[in-house]
Amino acid sequence: MPAFFLKETMDTTVSNEDFLATVAEKSDGAALRGDYSKADAHYVVQQDWAAYTEAEHELWRKLYQRQLELLPGRACDEFIEALHAMQIADGIPKFETTSDELFKATGWTIVAVPGLIPELTFFEHLANRRFPVTVWLRKPEEFNYIVEPDVFHDFFGHVPLLFNPVFADYMQRYGQGGLKAMQLGGLDQLARLYWYTVEFGLINTPQGLRIYGAGILSSGGEVEYCLQAGSKSRHIRLDVERCLCTLYKIDSYQETYFVIDSYQQLFDDTAGDFTPLYEKIKHLETLHANSLLPGEVELLPAR
Ligand code: PHE
Ligand code: CO
């Protein structure tokens, strides 16, 4: 994930050179986590699997187990099936093993990165069907919550859905769209789409709403919260233009969840040229994270 996503609104595009300086302004003022000294020009590093400690593998197993128990009836079938096939319950996985399997399934690979990366680099990876996964694992005291994505969020949350061919194509298109948005000044808007789909998306199924967003699936609390009928959050059908106008919160549960009917719908609804959309949106009002517009229907009614 690029550091950019951790800033809700930002007017200027950050160049690679300004990247470190930008991340130094993170809300808590802390420096970048992760070791960038060995990264190549694409911010790719070696995973160095042998360097993980037994305590880290144990923490991974605990994180995995806790999430696994929350998934039935909440996560979408595509996620659960792929997760089991990946066999990553026993410790921090070797990226290469899953990457080879993923490549056979959908032509995607996993690349190891030190942590947050510049958006240009991030989009280039996605556009070339490479998913960047952070190498470091959170600390035990961050078991429930972490702002910066770690290996558990990136790997457990994102990689399973990349085994789905339609979603995998959507992710590549998103990367291409990101490169284009940088030229058109549409980055803030496009980031919202990623946030509300790839990170916090819900999907409608005959059995009810299910989670496909990685930010929810790797979070202890939000997996339960996001499907709670009667909570103060909204669950509304994804409308791309509406989504592009909607601000998001990075440090609390989402106040709005956008629901898709299928990955094909997600792909089709975002397939058109966004150029006129960015132009139009410039003149529209930005919506708060908890907006509900006339005509919008709550898809998870209180029981
Ligand atoms: N179709 C969008 C464009 O022309 C790109 C895009 C594709 C954005 C998929 C998001 C998801 O800019
Ligand atoms: Co993520």
Farthest CA pair distance, the chain: 55
pLDDT value for 27: 44
pLDDT value for 251: 86
pTM for the full predicted model: 0.93
98 CB-near residues (< 8 Å, 6+ apart):
86, 88, 110, 155, 159
Give SS3 for 132.
strand
- Residue given tokens 């998103």 in the structure block: 174
Give SS3 for 254.
coil
Cα 294 to averaged position of ligand 2 atoms, centre (Å):
31
Residues lining ion ligand 2 (Cβ < 5 A) are: 1, 149, 214
pLDDT value for 24: 46
Q: Is the CB of 273 under 6 A from ligand 1?
A: yes
Give SS3 for 111.
strand
Which numbered ligand comes closest to the C-alpha of 201?
2
Q: Is the CB of 271 under 6 A from ligand 1?
A: yes
- Residue given tokens 């094909």 in the structure block: 264
Which numbered ligand comes closest to the C-alpha of 276?
1
Burial class (CB in 10 A: 0-12, 13-18, 19+), 63: buried
Measure the CA angle with vertex 222, ends 262 and 22; round to 5°.
95
User: Are the CB atoms for 238 and 259 separated by under 8 Å?
Assistant: yes
Ligand 1 probe mutation, 172, 180, 183, most atoms within 8 A of CB: 180
**Closest ligand 1 atom, residue 177 Cα:** 5
Q: How far apart are CA 125 and CA 159, in angstroms?
A: 14
Give SS3 for 90.
coil
Q: Is the CB of 274 under 6 A from ligand 1?
A: yes
Ligand 1 probe mutation, 126, 172, 173, 198, most atoms within 8 A of CB: 173
pLDDT value for 1: 86
- Closest by Cα among 225, 177, 217 to 201: 217
- Closest by Cα among 227, 219, 101, 215 to 158: 215
Q: How far apart are CA 273 and CA 275, in angstroms?
A: 6
Tokens of 112: 């190891």
181-187 LR contacts (CB < 8 Å, sep 24+): 181/274, 181/278, 182/13, 182/119, 182/120, 182/123, 184/274, 184/275, 184/278, 185/13, 185/278, 186/274, 186/277, 186/278, 186/281, 187/4, 187/13, 187/119
pLDDT value for 12: 39
**Closest ligand 1 atom, residue 271 Cα:** 1
pLDDT value for 5: 78
Q: pLDDT tens string for the chain (303 positions)?
A: 888 777 654 333 455 556 655 554 554 545 678 999 999 999 999 999 999 999 999 999 999 999 999 999 999 999 999 999 999 999 999 999 999 999 999 999 999 999 999 999 999 999 999 999 999 999 999 999 888 999 999 999 999 999 999 999 999 999 999 999 999 999 999 999 999 999 999 999 999 999 999 999 999 899 999 999 889 999 999 999 999 999 999 989 999 999 999 999 999 999 999 999 999 998 898 999 999 999 999 999 776
Question: How many Cβ atoms are within 10 Å of 30's Cβ, its own excluded?
Answer: 11
Q: Is the CB of 270 under 6 A from ligand 1?
A: yes
Cα 303 to averaged position of ligand 2 atoms, centre (Å):
31
pLDDT value for 29: 46
